[in-house]
Each structure stands twice: as C-alpha cells, then as structure tokens.
Amino acid sequence: MLKLSKMTDYAAVVMARIAREPDSAHAAIDLAESVQLPHPTVSKTLKALVRAGLLESRRGALGGYRLARPASQITASDIISAIEGPVAVTECSHADGDCELVNTCGVADNWQRVSYAISELLGSVTLAHLASSAPLRMPVQLPIQAISLYGDDEPPPMATAADSTGKR
Amino acid sequence: MLKLSKMTDYAAVVMARIAREPDSAHAAIDLAESVQLPHPTVSKTLKALVRAGLLESRRGALGGYRLARPASQITASDIISAIEGPVAVTECSHADGDCELVNTCGVADNWQRVSYAISELLGSVTLAHLASSAPLRMPVQLPIQAISLYGDDEPPPMATAADSTGKR
DNA sequence: TGATACAGGACTAAAATGGTCCCCAATTAA
DNA sequence: TTAATTGGGGACCATTTTAGTCCTGTATCA
Ligand code: FES
Ligand code: FES
C-alpha cells in the first residue's frame, strides 16, 4: 500500500494541530486529548519530531512544544523523514550500493528517479498546506519537470533483448 | 522510509526481466536464476502478479510466464498494487471512512490529494520505462498539474526565503 | 521547594514480512 | 497412456517491525 506508518500519520496530525496555533506552547497531554490519541504515544511521536528539529520543546511548567520554524517551511517530506527516515521507495534507491542485485536487475536507476520524483513531490507540500482546512487548491505545477520520464505519446523505449545478451 | 516491500521490489525486477524478452515464456526457475533470488520466493511473486492480471501463465512443459499486455501498458502503480494493494499514503486516504480521527485531525483531505498525486505519478511510469536500460529521459512533464496543492496566495514551497505568512 | 512537563530508553505484545514447503492441476512429449 | 514439466494454492514458520506502555531522570517556573 505504500503507506506510511501510523506514527507518521500521528505526527502529521499533531503537527497540524500545533501549526494551527503556532504562538503558544502545547503540552503533550493537551495535544493527546485534542487529537484523541493515547498520551504516551503522542509523547513519543513528539520526541521524535523534536529530535528531527521540526519542533522545539520546553520543559517545566508552561512548557510544551512549538514549531521550530514556520509551517510554510516544514514539508511533508520533513515530517515523514523525521519518523521513518529518508524517503526512498526501494532499498536500492538508497544509492548506497547496498543491494546485491544491482547487477542483475537493472531497474535501480529508474526506480531511483521515481523515488526522487516522489520525494520532490512530498517536499513541495508544506505543513501549512496540510494544516489548512481548505482543500489544497489546484492547479499547480510541481517542480517535477526536472525529474525524468518522457512524453506519454512517445513509444516505449524498451531495452529489448539485445540488452540481455551481456549481463552487466 | 515510505518504501515498498521487498516482494514488490522483486516483482519489479522480475517483470522487467520478462519485459525484455516478451515473446517467450519464462519458467519461474529460470527467472529465479537470472535474477539471483530463491526460486520459491520468485514463484510466489509471480503467482501474485498473475492473480493481478499482469502476467499470464501456462503450465506444463514449455509453460511459463509472459506479460498479459505490452510493457508500455503496465504501470509501476499496477505492479505495486498487485503486491501490496492499492497505493494510498495514509489509512484515512482510503476514503472509506475507516479512520476515527477524521473529526479531529483535519488532515485527511489534503493527505488524500497528496496520495492521489503520488498515485498518478506512479501510474505514469510504465514497465517499459523501468525495464529500459537507459535512464529515463528528461525532461518530461507528468500529468500532475491536474492534481492540486497550493493556490496563489501561498508562497511557493521553500523556494522563497519569505518565511512570513505562515498562516493566514 | 515542589509541581509541571519533557528526555531517554527499556520493554512487551501484536502484526506484518519474508521465505519455505508440500501437494494438486494442467500441459506436453514420448 | 504415461512420465516429465511447470504453475496454482495454501499452510506454515521465523524474524523483524510496529505500536504502544512505562519508568526513571532532568529542566523550568511559580
Ligand atoms: S533490486 Fe536492488 S538494485 Fe535492483
Ligand atoms: S488521521 Fe485519519 S482522518 Fe486524519
């Protein structure tokens, strides 16, 4: 399902909550209640967000959490990364040469591009967008032309069999 | 990491293998070898792909798997869906009203749009693209302008240093 | 000083994932 | 007809991930 974990989901929800009232500090327990989730869980999520630098925290009475920077400068990608690590669609997309199939699959390159495109897409959605109650307006153009792919009318490139003769 | 499961990864690799030689049937065991993966696992993956209608199979001697339709008509989204179910970023993106937080989070709507955008993106990448040894060419424009995201009063994502607005 | 509220991490239970195996059904060749 | 080949469908298990709880410590402020 290509879906993000619940924790990430929570993170988004909580961040949005905070973003809607950015000028006051929010205690974990208050957030938990307003979001209808167990306190410990929310707390855990908040800690992760602090560690990722998306939130600032303050202890003690009057303490709580607040955004580390304006909601318009926090992206969906940031939030996701904070909880589940960098956005990458496949293992090999890591580009860290971990995958041992690199030689046999030949899909890595293109997957990586797709991954990048998604990453860009997520990077173009800000917390301000997410938090806004109004649905995101359209249309818009994403900074994706820089990515890859090609026109839809163009015939498929296909490496063809000629390519399979020599295994790289 | 927003990543797909290994099985999906395998699926893509195997599909690409088949796509490169679309005119002959490929036995599971041969594919397994050429891809350097355990036979049972590959076999399992193939079965799933058949069930999803992306491959056709034939039993008996001379049997094997082949594409159910041209590689240019099979999308990354198809492959992912075949293995992990429909592409959806969050639970609530399902739009099936399962999530109980709908009332408290208010993020659902916009997440859903993001989800849709990703889905479109993946739908625009075909197996032919993936299988091609040459990196996808650029530039291209994805059919994403139709999607959504922000309007005109909102500052373009991070591009500007104008932290300002934040929220209206 | 004492109440508040975050920090960090250990820990558990439950679920998803990856992977194997076995037996059956279909197809073809001898 | 029979034998060999090849996929179909599941059951099954081991391992890892995930979600969630809890406890102990530390900073802040009235
Ligand atoms: S599966 Fe890792 S490089 Fe292709
Ligand atoms: S978390 Fe499900 S609707 Fe927002």
Cis peptide before A139 (omega within 30 of 0): yes
Report the top-level CATH class of B6-146.
mainly alpha
CA B163 to C1' C5, whole Å: 30
Distance A83 CA to ligand 2 centre (A): 17
Q: CB-CB: which of B143, B149, B155 is closest to A72?
A: B155
Pick from A143, A117, A123: nearest CA to A77 = A123
Q: Are A86 and A78 in contact, with CB atoms under 8 Å apart? A: no
Number of residue pairs across A and B with CB atoms under 8 Å?
Answer: 272
pLDDT reported for residue B87: 80
Q: Is A95 in the pocket of ligand 1 (CB under 6 A)?
A: no
Identify which has the larger pLDDT, B152 or A12: A12
Per-residue pLDDT of B4-38, as tens digits, reads 888 999 999 999 999 999 999 999 999 999 988 99
Contacts of B126 in chain A (CB under 8 A): 156
pLDDT reported for residue B45: 97
Asked if residue A41 keeps its beta carbon closer than 7 A to nucleic acid strand D, the reply is yes
Q: What is the mean pLDDT of residues A138-152?
A: 37
Beta-carbon neighbour count of residue B58 at 10 Å?
A: 12
Q: What is the mean pLDDT of residues A114-141?
A: 74
Asked if residue A47 keeps its beta carbon closer than 7 A to nucleic acid strand C, the reply is yes
Atom of ligand 1 nearest to the CA of B12: 1
Residue B73 scores a pLDDT above 90 = yes
pLDDT reported for residue A78: 95
Per-domain residue ranges of chain B? 6-146
Per-residue pLDDT of A80-123, as tens digits, reads 999 998 887 776 544 445 555 666 667 777 888 888 888 888 88
Per-residue pLDDT of B77-136, as tens digits, reads 999 999 998 887 776 544 445 555 666 667 877 888 888 888 888 888 899 988 886 665
pLDDT reported for residue B151: 35
pLDDT reported for residue A22: 94
pLDDT reported for residue B115: 85
pLDDT reported for residue A101: 60
Q: What is the C-alpha separation between B155 and B166, in angstroms, rounded? A: 9
Which residue carries 């302008």 as its tokens? B145
Identify which has the larger pLDDT, A2 or A100: A2
Atom of ligand 2 nearest to the CA of B102: 3
Q: Are B144 and A142 in contact, with CB atoms under 8 Å apart? A: yes
pLDDT reported for residue A68: 96
CA B83 to C1' D16, whole Å: 19
Which residue carries 């496949």 as its tokens? A90
- Give the model's confidence band at A151: pLDDT under 50 very low, under 70 low, under 90 confident, else very high: very low
**Strands B64-67 and A55-58, bridge-based pairing:** unpaired
Q: Is B88 in the pocket of ligand 2 (CB under 6 A)?
A: no
Q: Are B121 and A121 in contact, with CB atoms under 8 Å apart? A: yes
Q: Is A13 in the pocket of ligand 1 (CB under 6 A)?
A: no
pLDDT reported for residue A107: 79
Mean pLDDT of chain A: 77
